[in-house]
Amino acid sequence: GAGVSQSPSNKVTEKGKDVELRCDPISGHTALYWYRQRLGQGLEFLIYFQGNSAPDKSGLPSDRFSAERTGESVSTLTIQRTQQEDSAVYLCASSERGRGLDEQYFGPGTRLTVT
Amino acid sequence: DAKTTQPNSMESNEEEPVHLPCNHSTISGTDYIHWYRQLPSQGPEYVIHGLTSNVNNRMASLAIAEDRKSSTLILHRATLRDAAVYYCISWVGGSEKLVFGKGTKLTVNP
């Protein structure tokens, strides 16, 4: 079946502009995760959605970052007033159940470059 | 602060076993420990996960300490294809946040 998909695959934007990143999880997966990976660095957890529960947003780097998910479908990560330090690969993953019960399947990522 | 700590790098010879350690001192009693790896220029891929007892799959084994504050990923016979950064992940107890180790870069020598 189809895996996790993300769009766009690449995004170049000017400093100060807003960007929206999209993640389509595997159908039937209740949990969805967003991560950031800066060049040459490790994975950084951003936020986790589980079913219809309200997510803990404290992992988002700043108030310019927001994330939404409608039910158990698509999720969007929005970055307002982008800064150069936002340049990174943004990865999305989904799992059948949440809270670490199952393995996460990762999407190919969105490479964001802020000029 | 919640912490998951791993050595920055390790080296192994091909066909030899590799033991990759991780400390996750703030893990709660009911959360799983996960290991993922990231090959060069690729996205992360799942390796193994476990709760309390040792776990085995076709890729690796996971040995979990009795107090669950640490775990060890075991690659029984390292191959050149196992060269990657290995991440240990645990949940912050009582929260909806994941904590990643900074990853161990494994080099496998032929």
Tell whether the model's pLDDT for residue B56 goes beyond 80. Answer: yes
Residues B33 and B89 sit within 8 Å (Cβ to Cβ) = yes
- Apex CA B4: angle with CA A41 and CA B87, to 5°? 50
Q: With a cut of 50, which residues of chain A have pLDDT below it? A: none
Give the pLDDT score at B44.
93
pLDDT, tens only, B80-90: 999 999 999 98
B75 and B47 Cβ atoms separated by less than 8 Å: no
Distance CA B106, CA B66 (A): 26
| Whether the predicted pLDDT of B2 surpasses 70 | no
Do B108 and B80 meet the contact criterion of CB atoms below 8 Å apart? yes
The shortest CB-CB distance from A48 to any of B85, B96, B101 is to B96
Q: What local confidence, expressed as pLDDT, does residue B31 receive?
A: 86
Q: Which two tokens stand for residue A63?
A: 């108030």
pLDDT value at residue B1: 58
| Confidence class for position B97, pLDDT limits 50, 70, 90 | confident
Q: Scanning the structure block, which residue is given the tokens 């989904």? A: A94
Q: Please give the Cα distance from A31 to A49 (Å, whole number).
A: 6
Instruction: Give the whole-angstrom CA distance, residue B81 versus residue B60.
Output: 13
Specify the DSSP element, H or E, that contains A5: strand A5-7
CA distance B36 to B20: 12
Nearest to B24 by CA among B58, B81, B73, B76: B73
Q: What is the pLDDT of residues B59-83, one digit of tens each?
A: 999 999 998 889 999 999 999 999 9
What pLDDT, on a 0 to 100 scale, did the predictor assign at position A24?
96
B61 CB within 8 Å of a chain A CB: no
A105 touches B: beta carbon within 8 Å: yes
**What is the spatial distance between Cα A88 and Cα A82, in angstroms, rounded to a whole number?**
12
A109 contacts B32? CB cut-off 8 A:
no
Dist CA B42 CA A47 (whole Å):
21
Gap between the Cα atoms of B90 and B26, Å rounded: 9
Residues of chain A in contact with residue B103, where contact means CB-CB under 8 angstroms, are: 42-43
Stretch 15-74 of chain A: residues touching chain B, C-beta under 8 Å: 33, 42-45, 48, 50, 53, 55-56, 58-59
Write the CA distances from A86 to A64, A100, B79, integer angstroms. Answer: 10, 27, 36
Q: Chain A residues with CB inside 8 Å of B44's CB?
A: 43, 91, 93, 104, 106
